Structure 1
Amino acid sequence: MKFFKLKNELNYSKSHTLILNNIGRFIELTELEKQKYLSLLTEIKVKKKDFLMQAGDITTYEYFITKGCLKVYTLDEEGAPHISMFAVEDYWTGDMSSFMTKTPTRYFIKAIESSELLGISKANYDLLFQEIPKFERFYRILYQRSLVSYIRRSNHGISLTAEERYMAFKTKYPEIIHRVTQKDLAAYIGITPEFMSKIISKVNRM
């Protein structure tokens, strides 16, 4: 199976440059490989407050955010949201389990801001590994880093106070802290919005 005909010019768009730079941190691609990879991507736009994915859907893409901010969350038995991730520019998101096994996801992905993404379908994902095997290394690193982040976040939930979790988030993600509401931040930290407000007031007085 062959890729699309290559472009004559190498003037990449801003979104293509962003994803190529992200990949370039871990593997080196030739210009031919870059164009082959880009030919497999689909441009996706989602308006503010719209869903990119909902629980019960089968995930058809792995997503890379080129513009905007989204939240990834589940709902508990009482319908309360538990946010596991905020995804902004230069982040990957999706549900790899649903994507790989073609089973329904339990996650929601909702746009906090109008957002633009690049998606790769399962068929093109499989084709990518056949045509450019070095991408197996890239995705392995990507998933390993995601697992480490998940374990660290779980440990923080056990070992840190709510205030310490907030400070850790503020320090690690300064580019996100002002783009999300206190309510969403509380759902990420794992506390009530009222308690979140008290923590922010206390920290601001320090």
Structure 2
Amino acid sequence: MRINRKIPFTIAASALALSTACGGGSTSTTGVTSLSQTTSSATATSGQPSPAFNDADVTFTQMMILHHQEAIEMAKLAATRASDSEIKTLASKIEEEQKEEIQTMKGWLSDWGKPEPAPGMGHDMPGGMSEEDMRKLEAVKGKEFDKLFAEQMITHHKGAIEMARTEEVDGADPRAKELSKTIIATQQEEVKQLEQILKRL
């Protein structure tokens, strides 16, 4: 899936908040937790409407779905282009984890009566991949791919962490705030791993 990235993230987030307003809220984030515990707990409660959610929760969820879809698009390339076994393993892990989180977040939007983000929605999310970035990644293989993938995924993860910290500060839904903690903890560890991979490549 390819996403049009032309409207600044802050503008897109504000537009989403206005169009999906339910109780007021802004945007901001922070976190730390075990992925397995948080994901299973969030999934288990995804069918139960939250007693309280706000605009920040809706914006975070919609934008993080798009952000995760980008990461999955990047990770899928590793199967046929990466030469480093650790890159391939990590890319597969990222793809599986983020697919699960997308399904959980889609469940929340359904609970809240809010729409899923449109595939063609314009935005420039923190750490988001531009069309040019993706073309560069698609054009390389082997060690060149491994290095570029690691560099781009580090930037992408740092953007997700920034978005998650905004949610932890400004969100109201306990499930969304808990997922933000998981995203921060998990992706910080993956950034460290990618940085170590870059050092040895």
Higher relative contact order (CA 8 A, sep 6+): 2
TM-score, normalised by the number of residues in structure 1: 0.31
Return the structure number with greater helix share.
2
Q: Report the TM-score, using the length of structure 2 for normalisation.
A: 0.31
Query: More strand per residue: 1 or 2?
Result: 1
